Structure 1
Amino acid sequence: MAAGKGADDRIAELVESILVQTPLKAAGFIVTIYGDVVEPRGGVVWIGNLIETCAAVGISETLVRTAVSRLVAAGQLLGERAGRRSYYRLSKAAGSEFAAAARIIFSGAQEENWQLVHLAGAEAEETMQALERAGYARLDPRLAIGPARQAPPLAGGLILRADSPDPKALAAFVRAYWDLAPHAAAYRTFLQQFAPVARLAEKRSLAPATALTMRLLLIHRFRSVLLNDPRLPAAALPEDWPGREARRLFATLYRHLSPAADDHIARTFISGSGALSAVTEDTRKRLSLLETQAL
């Protein structure tokens, strides 16, 4: 069924509500556009597409151009011209960062093991802060514990694997060293924002441009919540952990929005060599990974 005026009005209300609750920053949203739309389709896009896509969420052309300039200065984007048009591609370093984030966002895999990291050397505090950003808990100035994900490069450090055979002891340990309440609240906000979108999308097909806007808001918010979450092993999380439901909602709604969103991309987005593809091997892989996680 095509989207009627009522559905369009409701979608506009939902977009406005999401933006009021969690305002966007131009640079962050442009990073989301690259990660979701551009990177799996070659990494290059016309700045006009960025301007048009950002306008749908209230970000002005001036803010887009300023943000792009800052991303270029930060080494994340590289500019190129073809005739009168300016195109921007991801730098190699940014592409590697995007690929790592995409694996976390789309795979849904959780590390089930723990590891202790003991730091040595003069840069221990800097490395400790990097570990904390990756979800580790600081036990003392040189000792951290967290999920057994890849640790930052260690200069003379030591990594030890840790077991957690007693669920009650593990739960008590987690309560002592991680404050999960802010992360649970962030997941609940995500659910509150996007569950109405999912209900509406199930009843009405959205216009392609609207579907892309919604998918970008969806992944922008989920990415922010997920990458700030310490992503502890499942056994350490409460039974009612809202992150599980949030992931199921993300997977379901992302898959539902993708056919129309990808159609809009193919019809409107361009690089210096032509139109971006609706579907690529990378986009197929993403949807396949989400299939088993959906509601």
Structure 2
Amino acid sequence: MPEPQSTLQLLIHALLQRDPPRAKSLSVTLLGDAIGPHGGNIWLSDLIDLVTPLGINERLLRTSVFRLVAQDWLQSERHGRRSLYRLSESGQELTAAASERIYVGSRNDWNGDWTLVILPRFGNSSLDGRGALRRELVWAGFGAIAPGIFALPRNQTVRARKVLAKLKVTDKALILSAHDMNKGQGLLLGSLVSQCWDLENVAQQYRQFSDTFAPMLEAIDGHTRPMQAFAVRALTIHEWRRIVLHDPQLPQQMLPVDWPGHAARELCGKLYWKVFDLAEEHLNQVIQRDPSHFQALKPHVYQRFGNHSPRSS
């Protein structure tokens, strides 16, 4: 007679049935969160072993990594009949840009400065590629305050320049620093928040995250297995990444006092570190089979979600 499934395993299974992860984005999540701190290289066969318990079959994964290579997210090396994958230079840049939003979040030291990106019209035609540029700016957290004008309440000039350079429109857009000068005597930039960003939708995603993962935190106990811990870590970060990369992460001063993102981030950090050591055991069992492409965990990982003390050896 089969052994009854644990509460944690039932929760994992229910989540996979209700909202199965996409192979492409899950691969990027794992390479950034788990594989990167161990050197960033992984054999395709090992990646298959990691994602199979998460509902991704081998055929789907192979198709997905091929597409990620074509889109310059990943690069591959052939070693006989085997393929070794890592994030490309572009993929590493995008992952690094996302990491602060994933593991750090909004800062408390906003001084009221804004970054503006202005897309002027030239003659009778608008800027070529405006739609693609808009999507990239929105992904970086910018909101549209007027046609062709995008704003973000913090210094993001470096990120804005990278977006323009990526689309080769550096000489066709303006990047400006701004500070609200109205001081209550006119329209304030901060009053445009609801117009620029759909915060209610983001708030609902944070509430759903807490509803989904709080029971998992409670279900982790001394019987949790390494493979289960890795599944929890992967699914938690995958869902968290999906939410925060659509959250402009406005300064604390511009958010409601009861903003659900605060509780969700605290929950995510607690869950991440509660399963971390066990998850690393499973990860090491898979990728440490090839010592030539495996590196010990990099210490900077322990700065995620606030400083965390590594387990004593």
TM-score calculated relative to the size of structure 1: 0.85
Q: Gapped runs of 5+ residues in structure 2?
A: 165-169
- Paired amino acid for 1:227: L
- Aligned AA for 2:89? K
Q: How many residues align?
A: 284
Q: Is the 8 A contact 1:263 1:278 kept in 2?
A: no
2:204 counterpart residue number: 185
In structure 1, runs of 5+ residues without a counterpart are none
Q: Does 1:40 find its partner at 2:46?
A: no
Which residue is equivalent to 2:57? 60
Q: Say which of 215, 240, 252 aligns to 1:196.
A: 215
**Among 71, 75, 90, the residue aligned to 1:74:** 71
Deviation at residue 291 of structure 1 after TM alignment: 4.0
Q: Which residue of 1 aligns with 2:88?
A: 91
5 Å matches for 1:68-217?
A: 68-110=65-107, 112=110, 113=112, 114-120=114-120, 122-123=127-128, 125-126=130-131, 127-148=133-154, 149=156, 150-151=159-160, 152-153=163-164, 154-155=170-171, 156-163=173-180, 172-201=191-220, 203-217=221-235
CA 1:162/1:44 → structure 2, altered by over 3 Å: closer, same or farther? same
Question: Do the aligned residues in 2 keep the contact of 1:251 with 1:291 (CA within 8 Å)?
Answer: no
Paired residue for 2:167? none
* Percentage of pairs with the same residue: 32
Q: CA deviation at 1:133?
A: 2.7
**Equivalent residue of 2:6, what SS?**
helix
Contact kept in structure 1, 2:190 and 2:254, CA below 8 Å? yes
* Counterparts of 1:118 and 1:266, CA distance in 2: 48
Measured against aligned partners, the alpha-carbon deviations of 1:169-204 in whole angstroms (never above 9, x if no partner) come to: 676432343221110111111111110111112x43
Deviations 1:136-159 (A, max 9, x none): 222222222222223233435141
Aligned residue among 236, 239, 247 for 1:229: 247
| 1:211 partner amino acid | A
Offset of residue 27 of structure 1: 1.0
Asked if the contact 2:49/2:286 (under 8 Å) is kept, the reply is no
Which range moved further: 91-100 or 237-246? 91-100
Match of 2:270 in 1: 252
Map 1:262-273 onto structure 2 (within 5 A): 262-270=280-288, 273=291
SS in 2 for 1:78: strand
Q: Deviation of residue 270 (structure 1)?
A: 4.1
Alpha-carbon deviation of 1:61? 0.9
Structure 1 residue aligned with 2:7 = 10
Question: What secondary structure sits across from 1:161 in the alignment?
Answer: strand
Matched to 1:195, the amino acid is: A
Q: Distance in 1 between matches of 2:189 and 2:176?
A: 20
Instruction: Report the aligned-residue RMSD.
Output: 2.7
Once the 2 structures are TM-superposed, how far is the Cα of residue 285 of structure 1 from its aligned partner? 3.6
- What is the DSSP-based 3-state SS (H/G/I as helix, E as strand, rest coil) of the residue aligned with 1:274? helix
Q: TM-score, normalised by structure 2?
A: 0.81
- Cα separation, partners in 2 of 1:258 and 1:64, compared to 1, 3 Å: same
